[in-house]
Chains A and B, each alone.
Chain A
Amino acid sequence: MTRTSLFACLEPRRSEWQLGALPAPTGQMMLIGWKKDPEPVDGGVPDDVGHVLARSFTSLGRVSFLSSAVHAPAGGGWVSSKRAPGPADLTSTTDPQIVVHAFDDAAHPWWMQGQVLLISAAADPPPGIDRKQLLAVLENEWSGTAEQLSALGVIGVVRPGVDGELAGLLTLAADARKASLSALEREAHRVSFDWSVLSEDAFMERYAS
C-alpha cells in the first residue's frame, strides 16, 4: 500500500532549493514537499499530489500558469491569453482539473523549473502580467519581481524547486500564508495524506529517509 506525506517548511534559507535569494526580499516563502512510500521511479509531481496541490491553490483563488494547450475548452473557467511574441501562453482558471496540467506540461517543464503559477483573487480577471515580468519570474532571481506582481493583484507565486521535487510558494498578501497552510492541510487530509510542518533540516531529511 502506498503511503503519501505532504509537508511544509515556513522558514527556508538554503540555496540548494534553487528558489532564488532566501529569505525572500518581498513576501513570505514556504516550501511544500511530498514523499511517497514506496518511492516512485519517475521524477516530478506524482498525479495524486498534483491534484492535492491544484485543489489547494484553486481554493485560494484564480490560478494562472504557462500552458502549451492550444485549444482551450469552452466553459470550465478556462481562459487562454496569448502574450505575443513567443510560445508563452498563460492559462487562467479556477478549475483544479485544469491546474493539474501545470505539473506535467513538457513545453513548460515543472521538472526543469520551467513553470510558474500565479494565484490571484478568484473574482478578479487574470493578472495583467506582461512578457518581461513573466520571463523574470522564471529566472533565478525571480523574487525581486514579486513586488510588481503584488501591484497586479497576485497574492501568491508558486515555483518548482530543484528538479521539480518540491514547490516554493511565495505569498504576497498578509493572510495568504495562513490560508495556504489551511488549504494544504485540509486537502491533504481529504485524501488521507500525512500532513506536517517541518523545520528546514527536517524537511531536507525527509527526502533522504
Chain B
Amino acid sequence: MAGRAIQGHAGAAQEHEPLDTGTSALMATPAPAGSRAPVAGARQTIEIPLSGGIPYALGQASVVRIPIPGTSGLAIEFNPRGWVPKTGSTSTLFFQDPTGNRHLRLDYGYNVRTKTIDYHWNQKRTFGEFGIPDHTPAGTAGRVAYQAAKYFKYAGRVLIVAGVVIDAISIVQASKPLRRASQVVAGWAAAWAGCKLVGAGGAALATPTTPLGMAAVGVGGCIIGGIAGYAGGSLLAGEVYDWAEGTFFTPLPEAAAP
C-alpha cells in the first residue's frame, strides 16, 4: 500500500489539507485536536452497577421476624399469627412468639376499659417482659407508631418487589449473568441474616419496658444489618465467583504405586 494515496481529507481536527496525489509523504500532519468545551445539555453517562439491595433490605424489615433476645422466643412483627378476617387485623405492631400464643400488640378500636375508641395495647402472657397490662392506652406515641407500622407494612412489600425486580434486571443486563446471579442470591441471604442479627442487637439494647423504642431500634437495626449484609454478601459472592472462574485445576500425572 506504500506510495498509494487516496484523494480526500485526513485528520480529525479543524485544520486539514488535501492529500497530494502520488506523494503521500507530503501530507501535512494535522494539528492536534484541542480541548472542546462541553456542549450545553449533553448527558454524561455514569456507570453505576444496578442493584436492588437497598429497597430489598428496607422492605424485608416489614416481613422478617426480628428476634428480641431474652424473651423466650418473642419477635417484632407487623403481621398477626393465627386466623385473620378478610378485612385484616385492627392491630399493626406485634411482639409475639411463633404461634401468637404469647403476644403484645398495638391495637386501635373500642377499649372496654376506657369506653372509648383509642390506641391501646392488648397482651397475653407477656406482662413479665413488658410490664404492660391488657387494654393499656398507648397515647400519642402509640398513635404515631400505629400509623407508621401500618404504612410500613405495605410500603415494605412494595420495596421488596422493587428490589427483586431491580436485581432481576441487573442479572439480565450483566455481562456475566451467572456471576451477578450469585451476587444477588448471596446478597438476599446475607441481608436476611444481617437483619436478624443487627435487629436483634438493636432490640436487646432498647429497654424492655418501652416496646415502641424497642420496635424502632429493632427495625432500624434490621434495615442497617440488611443493607450491610446485602453489600457484604454480594461482594463476597463476586470474589468467590472470580476466584473460581480464574482457577484451573491441572490433573497430576499418574505415577505407579510404590
A: residues with CB less than 8 A from B are: 16-18, 39-44, 66, 104, 106-109, 111-115, 138-140, 162-163, 165-166, 204-205, 207-208
Q: A43-B123, A140-B85, A165-B135 are in contact. List 5 more A-B contacts (CB 8 A).
A: A106-B82, A107-B81, A111-B124, A114-B85, A163-B134
Number of A-B residue pairs at CB separation under 8 A: 83
A42 & B125 in contact (Cβ 8 Å cutoff) = yes
- The answer to the question of B37 belonging to the interface, with a C-beta cut-off of 8 Å to chain A, is no
B127 & A41 in contact (Cβ 8 Å cutoff) = yes
> Which residues of B have CB within 8 Å of A112?
80, 82-84, 89, 91
Which of B44-52, B107-115, B138-146 lies at the binding interface? Answer: B107-115
B: residues with CB less than 8 A from A are: 80-87, 89, 91, 99-101, 107, 109-110, 112-115, 117, 122-125, 127, 133-135
A41 & B134 in contact (Cβ 8 Å cutoff) = yes
B123 & A163 in contact (Cβ 8 Å cutoff) = no
B82 & A114 in contact (Cβ 8 Å cutoff) = yes
Chain B at the A interface: SS class: loop
> Which residues of B have CB within 8 Å of A163?
107, 109, 112, 122, 134-135
Chain A at the B interface: SS class: loop
Query: How far does the alpha carbon of A17 sit from the alpha carbon of B110 in the complex, in Å?
Result: 8
What are 20 A-B residue pairs whose CB atoms fall within 8 Å in the complex?
A16-B117, A40-B134, A42-B127, A106-B99, A107-B82, A107-B83, A107-B99, A109-B83, A109-B100, A113-B85, A139-B87, A162-B109, A162-B110, A162-B112, A163-B109, A163-B134, A207-B112, A208-B112, A208-B113, A208-B114
A43 & B85 in contact (Cβ 8 Å cutoff) = no
Instruction: Kindly provide the distance from the CB of B87 to the nearest chain A CB, expressed in whole angstroms.
Output: 7
Query: How far does the alpha carbon of A78 sit from the alpha carbon of B227 in the complex, in Å?
Result: 51
> Which residues of A have CB within 8 Å of B80?
109, 112
Query: Which of B107, B115, B124, B127 has the most A CB atoms < 10 Å from its CB?
Result: B124
